[in-house]
Structure 1
Amino acid sequence: MTGSIKQKTPAVRPNGSSKGPRGPQAARSLTRNAPSTTVPGFTIIELLIAVIIIGVLVAILIPVLVRRVEEARIARAESDVEHIKDALERAHIHTNYVYRLYVLDDNLGGNGLYLPLDPGDLDGVRDETGNWTVQTPTRMFIDYNTGQFAGNYQNIYASLTRNETDFGWAGPYINYQRGNFTWQDLPTDPWGEEYLLFTPAGVVDQQAGTVENFYNFTVLGTDTTVTLRGPFFDRFTVLSKGPNRAPGDGSVAAQFGIADDIYRQF
Structure 2
Amino acid sequence: MSRLDYTWGLKTQDSRLKRKNRSSLGSRVSGFGSTQGFTLVEIMLVVIIIGILAAMVIPNIAGRGEQARVSAARADIDANLTSALDLYELDNGQYPTTEQGLRALFEKPASAPEPISWNGPYLKKKRTPLDPWGREYRYVSPGIHNTEEFDLFSYGQDGVEGKDDIGNWGSDSADEAGR
The reply to whether TM is greater than 0.5 is yes
Q: Give the 5 Å matches for 1:117-156.
A: 125=108, 139=110, 141=111, 150=112, 156=114
Q: Given that residues 137 and 152 in structure 2 are in contact (C-alpha distance below 8 angstroms), is that contact kept between their aligned partners in structure 1?
A: yes
Match of 2:23 in 1: none
Match of 1:16 in 2: none
Greater Rg over alpha carbons, structure: 1
Match of 1:68 in 2: 64
Deviation at 1:69, TM superposition (A): 3.3
Considering fraction of residues, name the structure with more helix.
2
Do the aligned partners of residues 190 and 233 (structure 1) sit closer, same or farther apart at CA in structure 2, a change above 3 Å counting?
same
Match of 1:11 in 2: none
Match of 1:171 in 2: 120
C-alpha distance in structure 1 between counterparts of 2:121 and 2:81, whole Å: 12
Q: Give the 5 Å matches for 1:80-229.
A: 80-82=76-78, 83-95=80-92, 96-98=94-96, 99-105=100-106, 125=108, 139=110, 141=111, 150=112, 156=114, 167-176=116-125, 185-200=127-142
Find the residue that maps to 2:84 and give its secondary structure. Answer: helix
Do the aligned partners of residues 40 and 103 (structure 1) sit closer, same or farther apart at CA in structure 2, a change above 3 Å counting?
farther
Q: Give the 5 Å matches for 1:5-24.
A: none
Scaled by the length of structure 1, what TM-score is found?
A: 0.42
C-alpha distance in structure 2 between counterparts of 1:185 and 1:172, whole Å: 10
Match of 1:53 in 2: 49
C-alpha distance in structure 2 between counterparts of 1:248 and 1:42, whole Å: 57
Considering fraction of residues, name the structure with more strand.
1
Alignment RMSD: 3.1
Q: Is 1:261 paired with 2:175?
A: no
Scaled by the length of structure 2, what TM-score is found?
A: 0.58
Deviation at 1:242, TM superposition (A): 2.3
Q: Which runs of 5+ in 2 are unaligned?
A: 1-26, 170-179
C-alpha distance in structure 2 between counterparts of 1:78 and 1:84, whole Å: 10
Q: Given that residues 198 and 233 in structure 1 are in contact (C-alpha distance below 8 angstroms), is that contact kept between their aligned partners in structure 2?
A: no
Q: Given that residues 87 and 104 in structure 1 are in contact (C-alpha distance below 8 angstroms), is that contact kept between their aligned partners in structure 2?
A: yes
Q: Which runs of 5+ in 1 are unaligned?
A: 1-33, 107-124, 126-137, 142-149, 161-166, 177-183, 202-231, 250-259
Match of 2:162 in 1: 248
- Runs (4+) of structure 1 moved beyond 4 Å? 34-39
Q: Given that residues 91 and 97 in structure 1 are in contact (C-alpha distance below 8 angstroms), is that contact kept between their aligned partners in structure 2?
A: yes
CA offsets 1:104-146 (integer angstroms, 9 cap, x no match): 145xxxxxxxxxxxxxxxxxx5xxxxxxxxxxxx55x5xxxxx
C-alpha distance in structure 1 between counterparts of 2:52 and 2:62, whole Å: 16
Letter in 2 for 1:87: A
Deviation at 1:52, TM superposition (A): 2.4
Q: Given that residues 86 and 95 in structure 2 are in contact (C-alpha distance below 8 angstroms), is that contact kept between their aligned partners in structure 1?
A: no
Deviation at 1:41, TM superposition (A): 0.9
Find the residue that maps to 1:192 and give its secondary structure. Answer: coil
